[in-house]
Amino acid sequence: MAARYAQYKRTWYFLRRNTLAMVGLAIIILFAAAFVYGLTYPASSSTPVQYCASNGPVPVSPDNPCYDAPYIVCTYPSGTVSPGPGCYQTPPDNPNFIAPTFTLAHGLGAFPFGSLVYPSADLSTSDPLFYNTYTMLEKGTVNSVGLSVLIVATGAGVGLLLGALSGYFGGWIDEIVMRITDIFLSIPAILLVIAVIIVGKSSGLRSFDETLVLIGIAFVVVWWPFYARIVRSQSLVVREQRYVEAAKASGASNGRIIVKHVVPNSVYPVFVQMSLDVGTIPLLLAAITFIGFVLFPYPLIPEWGSVAAAGASILTAVFTECGVKGAVCAVPWWQVAFPGLAIFFFSLSVNFLADGLRDALDPRLRR
Amino acid sequence: MSAAQPISPASPAVDTGTPAPSPLSLPIEAPAAAPDLRPVVLDVRNLVTYFYTYDGVVRALEGVSFKLRRGETLGLVGETGCGKSVTMFSVTRLIPDPPGRVVSGKVLFRGADLLWGLGHEARFIPVKGTNRVKVKRSFRRVKAAQARVGSVRGAGIAMIFQEPTQAMNPIFAIHDQLGEVLLEHRGEEVIDGLMASTPDLPAVRAAAEALERSVKVSDEAMRAAAKAVGEAAHLTSFGTQAFYMARQARTSGQGNLATEVSRAASRMRISGAQASFLRGERELRKIAREMRSVYISEMRRGEFERVNRGRLGARRLRLRLRRIPYRLPGIKRRVSRPLREETFWRAVQALEGVQIANPVQVARGFPHELSGGMLQRVMISMALACDPEILMADEPTTALDVTIQAQILELMNELRRRIGTAILLITHDLAVIAEVADRVAVMYAGQIVEMASVHDLFTRPLHPYTQGLLASIPRVDQPSKKLESIPGSVPNLIFPPSGCRYHPRCPHAMPVCKEQRPPMTVEGTGHNVACFLYNGAPVVE
Amino acid sequence: MQMWVYVVRRAALVIPVVIGVMTVLFVLISALPTVERTCSFYHPSGRTSPCTTQIPCSTDPSKLCPNPVYQSAVNALGLNKPIFVQWAIYIGNALTFQWGYVAQGSALGTGETGSGLPSLAGQSVATVLSEFLPYTIELALLALLIILVVSIPLGNLSAVYRNRPIDQASRVMSFSGYALPAFLLGSLILAGVTFALGGPAAPSKICGGTSTVFLDFYGSWPTPPCTPLYGTANIGPVGYPAWLSIGYISTPTGFPTVDSAIHGQYWLALDTLLRLVLPALVIAYTTIAGLLRFVRNSMLEVMNQDFIRTARAKGLPEQTVIKKHAGRNSLNVTITVLGLTFAGFITGFPVVEIVFNLWGVGRIYAYSVVGGVNDWDFGVLFGTTLLFTYLVVAANIIVDIMYAYLDPRVRLG
Amino acid sequence: MVATPSLTMPGGDGSVDGERVLLSVRNLRKFFPIRGGLFSSHIGDVRAVDGVSFTIHEGETVGLVGESGCGKTTVGRLLLRLIEPTSGHAFYRPTPEILQRIEEDYREIDLGGTPAPGNGSARPLSEGASKALRDLDQIANQYSLFRKRRKEVKALRGRLQIVFQDPFSSLEPRLMVRDIIAEPLDIQHVGTRAERMHRVDQLLQDVGLSPEHAWRFPHEFSGGQRQRIGIARALALRPEFIVLDEPTSALDVSVQAQVLNILRRLQQEQRLAYLFISHHLSVIRAVSDRVVVMYLGRIVERAETDELFSRPLHPYTQALLSAIPIPDPLLHRERIILSGDVPSPADPPSGCHFHTRCPAVMPICSKVSPPLAEVRPGHWVSCHLFPPTVPSGAGGAVETLEAGPAAEPIGEPSTAASTSGPLPP
């Protein structure tokens, strides 16, 4: 066992020399902590929940103080008041509403802060849901990270199985599996995901949990071919190894060879790919939401991607508004900034780590 | 020496690590009794090369010294991991760096020390608690050193490698890879020849008719006639072209050869644009040559010639800028046509030199279309294209079949007789050495343990390792049911054995062998051995 | 093997893939409720949609529907025939570009896209897409150009100067490209440029007037006051994007810049092109991220090969060794990876076209999925998916042929 | 062209004294299809092994020598059923009388001139031949390795084992030595875990390693030690026959001797039979009792070791012998340098495969492929220079001579004409 331990030590040694990878690891640990802590939040349900003046859930009702807190009203030099997204003022009739004079402490949600509004992705709905940054980030971590990890794990499992089979047996099995991967790889990911989700939704699966399941299915459908490809190329190499032939010569069944030799040898590259993809999925979710597709039913369950996307579209709206009418209005930049940064850092750290791993595991790329 | 000690020239540990003062480090030479009067072309003095790996410092070479004289063939023989190839690559600075590094030593070639400036290239920082050593390289200096040594590669020191199939670039045709060597080192002469060529068509026409007549006679006649055509065109390569056109005509049996040849000749005219392109090319080569001479003088005088480098660099830059239009794909193809054809036929000539039956097809072909033997011939022709003073062959026949190996060895012997370059033949096969080499150096674990003429070594092997090696070779020419073998295996060079590195496997091991490293001693003319069993006079300069 | 054999075989390999893609889409479509299918995949009159009135029919399709339109739709799509007949019909339609019609209920149908796009209800999906495709292609070509020009030299450099500043820089660049969502990058760049030039309200640098700096970068076309074509309503048939209510010109090629140039409106052409630069940069940035590491690593791998050592041993200058011997070899890998990432590359278009408010297939697609269940336009949705898939497949063929051209081992394999 | 030299020959070589026949390989063929053209259709075969017959007795070493691409490795892998043969039999432990029957059958078939499996019939089947075929089939069902069911094969795996050339790719780098050596035992479910571990230690000692090596990983060993581990793994199931596929080619000479001596010791101790595949004639000479020389998938010469090396008959063997450099600068011999390369087995030369490089080539060589005939007792050569003269005890040879042309159809019908006519296209 000592030798095996030495191998790990070696990998760790090369990983440690890679500063970026270490940075990535640190950030990931932070996210992991946030994830664990976020689990203590009340499970998301389909009943409207909002986080406004306090971090705890408060039922939505018209007489709720910060119910009409949003940023809907715009003031123009002329003094006329007209509704339009992206601009805000302090409603005089709402004492609880704190004007978004923004400080770092607010952003981090150091104390309850009702007015940093994260609107529902569905801009058409008249009554958006509000979170303060802190809550958004917490729940976002839980949903985004949890979802990504789940998806990637499943996809990798399927890919590992099929890839190993096709690579090891070759012949017609290989042909079939590879053609199928070709098919799925040539359909752009986002489009396929949306298609699957839409079909699911239009056949009635619309609640939050159902949506989660749908998203999962859609992404797995899209994702497994990548892994199948990787594992296949690996097992093609392993298959030609003499030690596999030796195992055959002493009567090993194909199943045994796949389990004992092929799969273990394909694990590392798959792992690297997985860590890359975990970072990619929130991005795709964001993109999907951004182009206006309503992923989650109302109320919006915070998921970085969708929140950021919604914020970004408001940003653009603000620009057009202010640009055209030359209005004096501040830009609610934080609505993009925080979820965006969350995605950015998560994906970035994961990539750092993955790349470091690749270098450390691949002797050719070692420095 | 204890392995825990950090190994680096900077640290005191070096004095034990690199044997600067130890007797071994003194260069080896035949005693005055029978002085070899041929001039020394390569003088390697206690070369030390380490590999700085994760597991520790691999002491691959520990003070290797030898001399190579003009026209002789020195065989470097030993088992895997004894550092034969490392020696060759250290001499030409081709060891992969990182992890490898030439730590110290001298390599004198044309009076220039190829390893000049080694000390300033890197700093060595031992890692506490491990036997790793961190190497901090000065990128700029390493690059400069590479450029310097690069100036003697190819033209001065040529190399051929073990795996011909992997040693050739898979995506370029043979003539391309062969031609670029010619252009690199012989560019000016090639271009001059090309620009001097002014075919007077009537003469060519006449010669071509003669050639057509000769087709039916014989190969020799054809060659002669083709040569005449070449002279008529004032371009030898055109003669070659004509010859193969004639061959083509003979095999196909149709086509009026004479007119074809003269048409080809008329196509040879060089347009103005092409001429200016050629002039520019020539200028580039000239600058490159001067650059090389600057590098060499740097290594000779041992100081950095910033001024000359700068001047040449500026000239080259200006020229390149002026020639940008020629880089455009369409234009380039049209403008460089004469040069490309010239180089192609020169390549064909080079291939003829290594007895390839159908050089034109081979020249057009790609590496993956040729057999290992054929590729090795191509490699040899590539190495000898601009007759170098030294040819280093790293296991040239190991990857080949027995019958092909015989062909290649025959070829090498023949070329050796014809050109008379000095050859450093690296192989693990004593039999090959016996066939080809004049002198042999036996290496073990990064050191030369015995050095003698082939005859002496095989008739009177002195070092126990040499004896064991010879005994363990199965002979095809005599039945031997019981094979001798050397117990144990090659030591791990991270923790090399103390004293004589062979003592753990040596049947005659004595206590002293553990303590200190045996000095190289003279045992008869040109026969040196490093072993305590013999107490001849230590080798002296 | 001759080149043409290789090309033909490679092209032949496409057929199963395309059929397969259609089958996948067919499976999805046939999972739809009957009414959604009939709304957008079959359109008898070409003007009115059967859906709006016939929603009740959907509650149980088996029951004979009184509505003849709906019924004929069911017949035409073979919904009452066995599944494989439906499949055959679908394949036929897909291959003959009969991708259905813009449904009336959808955002595109009602014209509630908030982009000045008039109601396209009842128009054939293929026609609509074909009208918008040139815009996307222009953007794609520009982006590809940027990608190739940047990624290959940068990758090679970072391999040669491994672990030196330039390598680190390219590494950071590629990672940030991985991690930055396209929409975020896009909005940031847009905002940045806008504010750099004086903030959203500042007057336009290009044509002054009431137009603002922001609008100089936002949208495919200049706002009316700047357009030299303004008011020239009497030119040619409809073709120049009618929903920009600035008059009509003929569009021989459909490519905006080309057409403008043809009409002698060089300023317009330039303006249109300039508006593509930022989005192209955004798309390129994200794609380069994926490419850069591959280029670098493949280059590193090549640099370890024996033949590089041989090239050095031949005494070639380092430049030649790297550019010619290593570069050409790693180029193969680069191209292959580019082919693999093309799907991802295309996926970027909907987002970017929305961010920069450009016309293009991507934006139409976005409109087809916008909003809630009743706003979706299945015809456009699946049509676009098919179109993009065709593009990806075509790109892969091209890549493979280029590969074979570059690498004799494949060509003569 | 003609695939089959005569099928008729006494089991192994007449000279073998009462040793029991372990494996009698008959007319073994392996063609790898070549695909190409527009629809990657089957456009030809790589005739890797093309009608190879020899016999291995208990406890003896048969050397199989030839250049790369001559199919020697393929033969070894066929015998272990790592790949399936195109045709031919390998009779496992046939009793003498069975062997006798096989002899007669093949003789009958030769005379009857039946098509070899896979080839179109050239002549109507003679009565005797068809009967013989049936009989042979029946024997094969019982004895031929290639007719075994999966279960039987798995049982048989233990008896036949292989040691590979490359000591680096033949050991799984992730596993510890003990797991590597124990793997065959695990697969065959031999004994308890403790027993297996005990067996591993014992095996390690057998190959001259120490038990604590069991706890290390392959990359910690030198080439020679790795090769020993490979041997230990092969020995794990107590085989009686081991294919040694270039076991020492990757090793240094000083270590090579160690491995060879271990192999020899084990052979004496455990009465193993070896098929020693190598391209080193010198090694072959050192280790083997009988030698088979192959060229382009066919046997060109076969004899007792000393006989072969002292009196090589086939020009190829002679060239091979003279091409080997000898570590003795004093010894200067006239060496035969063969011109050109080994032709590709995808389209081997017509007639005698060797005629393109043969120094003593005759007109007939390019037309008729010479039968493998016994020209001296126990010395079999396939060359037109040597018309079989010795009326050996097993009269096969004489008939071979007559059967030579008669046997043509067995290879390919087209060349039946070619024997008398011009070169086949």
- Angstroms from C97 CA to nearest CA on chain D: 29
Residues present in chain D in total? 425
Q: Where are the beta strands (DSSP E) in B187-255?
A: none
Residue D122 lies in a domain: no
Query: Using the beta-carbon criterion (under 8 Å), do D82 and A264 form an inter-chain contact?
Result: no
DSSP 8-state class, residue D12 = S
What's the pLDDT at A251?
Answer: 86
Beta pairing partners, D34: D44
Instruction: Tell me the two tokens of residue C325.
Output: 């011997």
Q: Is B231 exposed, middle or buried (0-12, 13-18, 19+ CB in 10 A)?
A: middle
Contacts of B144 (CB under 8 A, 6+ apart): B117, B304
The minimal CB distance from B476 to the residues D222, D252, D285 is found for D285
Q: What is the pLDDT of residues C67-100, one digit of tens each?
A: 556 667 777 788 888 889 999 999 998 999 888 8
CB B357 within 8 A of CB B157: no
CA-based max dimension of chain D: 70
Q: What is the pLDDT of residues D175-196, one digit of tens each?
A: 889 889 999 999 988 888 889 9
Task: Tell whether D44 lies on the interface with C, counting CB pairs under 8 A.
Answer: no
- Across the A/B interface, how many CB contacts are shorter than 8 Å? 4
Q: Is B95 helix (H, G, I), strand (E, B) or coil?
A: coil
b/e for D345-371, b at 16 or more Cβ within 10 A?
beebbbbbbbbbbbeebeeebbbbbbb
Pairing of strands D160-163, D87-92: unpaired
pLDDT at B15 over 50: no
* C-contacting chains (≥3 CB pairs under 8 Å): A, B, D
- Angstroms from A93 CA to nearest CA on chain C: 31
- Lowest-pLDDT range of A29-38, A52-61, B439-448: A52-61
CB A155 within 8 A of CB A181: no
Reported as a pLDDT band with limits 50, 70 and 90, residue C362 is very high
Query: Using the beta-carbon criterion (under 8 Å), do C406 and B155 form an inter-chain contact?
Result: no
Residue D229 lies in a domain: yes
Higher pLDDT, A260 or C206: A260
Q: What is the pLDDT of residues B230-271, one digit of tens each?
A: 888 888 888 888 888 888 888 877 678 888 888 888 888 888
CB B173 within 8 A of CB B363: yes
Q: How many domains does chain D have?
A: 1
The minimal CB distance from A185 to the residues C343, C369, C385 is found for C343
DSSP string of C116-178, one letter each residue:
SPPP-TT-BHHHHHHHHHHHHHHHHHHHHHHHHHHHHHHHHHHHHTTTSHHHHHHHHHHHHHH
- Angstroms from D138 CA to nearest CA on chain A: 26
Query: Using the beta-carbon criterion (under 8 Å), do D164 and A245 form an inter-chain contact?
Result: yes
Q: Which chain A residues touch D174 with a CB distance below 8 Å?
A: 264-265
Residue with tokens 């925080």: A338
What's the pLDDT at D189?
Answer: 87
DSSP string of B154-168, one letter each residue:
TTTEEEE-S-HHHHS
Task: Tell whether C178 lies on the interface with A, counting CB pairs under 8 A.
Answer: yes
Task: Tell whether D401 lies on the interface with B, counting CB pairs under 8 A.
Answer: no
The verdict on pTM exceeding 0.95 is no
The minimal CB distance from D253 to the residues B473, B477, B489 is found for B473
DSSP string of A149-171, one letter each residue:
HHHHHHHHHHHHHHHHHHHHH-H
**Radius of gyration for the alpha carbons in chain D, expressed in angstroms and rounded:** 22
Beta pairing partners, D68: none
d(CA B467, CA B478): 18
Residue D201 lies in a domain: yes
Residue with tokens 């003498």: D96
| Cis peptide leading into residue B98 (ω within 30°) | yes
Query: Using the beta-carbon criterion (under 8 Å), do D67 and B402 form an inter-chain contact?
Result: yes
Instruction: Tell me the two tokens of residue C139.
Output: 């953007």
- Angstroms from D38 CA to nearest CA on chain B: 21
Higher pLDDT, D112 or D85: D85
Residue D321 lies in a domain: no
The minimal CB distance from D254 to the residues B409, B431, B485 is found for B485
d(CA B58, CA B473): 29
B67: left (phi over 0), alpha (psi -120 to 50) or beta: beta
Query: CA nearest A326 in C: which residue?
Result: C201
Angle, CA A66 vertex, CA A64 and CA A69 arms, to 5°: 140
Higher pLDDT, D223 or D243: D243
- How does the average pLDDT of chain B come out, rounded? 85
Of B177, A227, B476, B510, nearest to D335 (Cα)? B476
Q: Is C392 exposed, middle or buried (0-12, 13-18, 19+ CB in 10 A)?
A: buried
Query: Using the beta-carbon criterion (under 8 Å), do A10 and B54 form an inter-chain contact?
Result: yes
Contacts of D15 (CB under 8 A, 6+ apart): D304, D377, D378
- Angstroms from B440 CA to nearest CA on chain D: 12
Reported as a pLDDT band with limits 50, 70 and 90, residue A294 is confident
* D-contacting chains (≥3 CB pairs under 8 Å): A, B, C
- Angstroms from B475 CA to nearest CA on chain D: 5
Q: Which chain B residues touch D305 with a CB distance below 8 Å?
A: 479
* B-contacting chains (≥3 CB pairs under 8 Å): A, C, D
Query: Using the beta-carbon criterion (under 8 Å), do C9 and D40 form an inter-chain contact?
Result: yes
Q: What is the pLDDT of residues D343-397, one digit of tens each?
A: 888 888 888 889 988 888 888 888 888 888 888 888 999 998 887 654 444 433 3
Q: Which chain A residues touch C28 with a CB distance below 8 Å?
A: 195-196, 199
What's the pLDDT at D291?
Answer: 94
Query: Using the beta-carbon criterion (under 8 Å), do B54 and A13 form an inter-chain contact?
Result: yes
pLDDT at D32 over 70: yes
Residue D211 lies in a domain: yes
Task: Tell whether D40 lies on the interface with C, counting CB pairs under 8 A.
Answer: yes
Residue D193 lies in a domain: yes
Residue D200 lies in a domain: yes
Query: Using the beta-carbon criterion (under 8 Å), do A191 and C385 form an inter-chain contact?
Result: yes
Angle, CA C153 vertex, CA C152 and CA C159 arms, to 5°: 90
- Angstroms from A367 CA to nearest CA on chain D: 21
pLDDT at B333 over 80: yes
Q: Which chain D residues touch A241 with a CB distance below 8 Å?
A: 169-170, 172
d(CA B118, CA B93): 11
What's the pLDDT at A7?
Answer: 67
- Angstroms from B347 CA to nearest CA on chain C: 15
pLDDT at C400 over 90: no
d(CA A157, CA A163): 10
Query: Using the beta-carbon criterion (under 8 Å), do C5 and D40 form an inter-chain contact?
Result: no
Q: What is the pLDDT of residues A324-334, one digit of tens each?
A: 444 444 455 66
The minimal CB distance from D187 to the residues A3, A245, A250 is found for A250
Residue type, B356: I
d(CA D192, CA A353): 43
- Angstroms from C91 CA to nearest CA on chain A: 15
Residue type, D83: I
CA-based max dimension of chain C: 86
Long-range contacts of D323-326 (CB under 8 A, 24+ apart): D323/B402, D323/B403, D323/B405, D323/B406, D324/B402, D324/B431, D324/B476, D324/D281, D324/D282, D325/B405, D325/B406, D325/B409, D325/B429, D325/B431, D325/B432, D325/B434, D325/B435, D326/B431, D326/B434, D326/B475, D326/B476, D326/B477
- Angstroms from C153 CA to nearest CA on chain B: 17
Q: Which chain C residues touch D35 with a CB distance below 8 Å?
A: none
Query: Using the beta-carbon criterion (under 8 Å), do B54 and A367 form an inter-chain contact?
Result: no
- What is the end-to-end Cα distance of chain C in Å, rounded? 6
Task: Tell whether D70 lies on the interface with B, counting CB pairs under 8 A.
Answer: no
Query: CA nearest C11 in D: which residue?
Result: D38
Instruction: Tell me the two tokens of residue A175.
Output: 């042909």
Task: Tell whether C343 lies on the interface with A, counting CB pairs under 8 A.
Answer: yes
Instruction: Tell me the two tokens of residue D362.
Output: 């005759």
DSSP 8-state class, residue C64 = P
- Angstroms from A14 CA to nearest CA on chain B: 9
- Lowest-pLDDT range of B80-94, C70-84, C275-289, D384-398: D384-398
d(CA C407, CA A351): 32
Q: Is C155 exposed, middle or buried (0-12, 13-18, 19+ CB in 10 A)?
A: buried
Task: Tell whether B442 lies on the interface with D, counting CB pairs under 8 A.
Answer: no
Which residues of D touch chain A, with CB atoms under 8 Å apart? 77, 80, 82, 153-154, 157-158, 160-162, 164-166, 169-172, 174, 176, 180, 183-184, 187-188, 215-217, 220, 230, 233-234, 236-237
Long-range contacts of A87-96 (CB under 8 A, 24+ apart): A87/A318, A87/A321, A87/A322, A87/A327, A87/A329, A87/A330, A88/A330, A88/A332, A94/A65, A94/A66, A94/A68, A94/A69, A95/A65, A96/A52, A96/A53, A96/A65, A96/A66, A96/A69
- Lowest-pLDDT range of A33-37, A315-319, C246-250: C246-250
- What average pLDDT does this structure show over A143-155? 88
Reported as a pLDDT band with limits 50, 70 and 90, residue B281 is very high
What's the pLDDT at A295?
Answer: 76
The minimal CB distance from C309 to the residues B94, B366, B379 is found for B94
pLDDT at D35 over 90: no
Query: CA nearest C369 in A: which residue?
Result: A293
DSSP 8-state class, residue A219 = H
- How does the average pLDDT of chain A come out, rounded? 70
- Angstroms from B366 CA to nearest CA on chain A: 26
d(CA C185, CA C191): 10
What's the pLDDT at B480?
Answer: 65
CB C191 within 8 A of CB C218: no
Beta pairing partners, B160: B393
Residue type, A367: R
d(CA B178, CA C311): 10
Task: Tell whether C205 lies on the interface with A, counting CB pairs under 8 A.
Answer: no
Task: Tell whether D36 lies on the interface with C, counting CB pairs under 8 A.
Answer: yes
**Enclosing domain of residue D215:** 172-236
Reported as a pLDDT band with limits 50, 70 and 90, residue A131 is low
Q: Is A20 helix (H, G, I), strand (E, B) or coil?
A: helix
pLDDT at A215 over 60: yes
Q: What is the pLDDT of residues D264-284, one digit of tens each?
A: 999 999 889 999 999 888 889
Q: Which chain D residues touch B427 with a CB distance below 8 Å?
A: none
Q: Which chain A residues touch B98 with a CB distance below 8 Å?
A: 367
Q: Angle of helix C182-196 relative to helix A263-290, nearest 10 degrees?
A: 50
What's the pLDDT at D407?
Answer: 35
Q: Where are the beta strands (DSSP E) in B70-138?
A: 73-77, 100-109, 112-113, 122-126, 133-137
Task: Tell whether B489 lies on the interface with D, counting CB pairs under 8 A.
Answer: yes
Q: Which chain D residues touch B164 with a CB distance below 8 Å?
A: none
Residue D198 lies in a domain: yes
d(CA C327, CA C160): 11
- How does the average pLDDT of chain C come out, rounded? 79
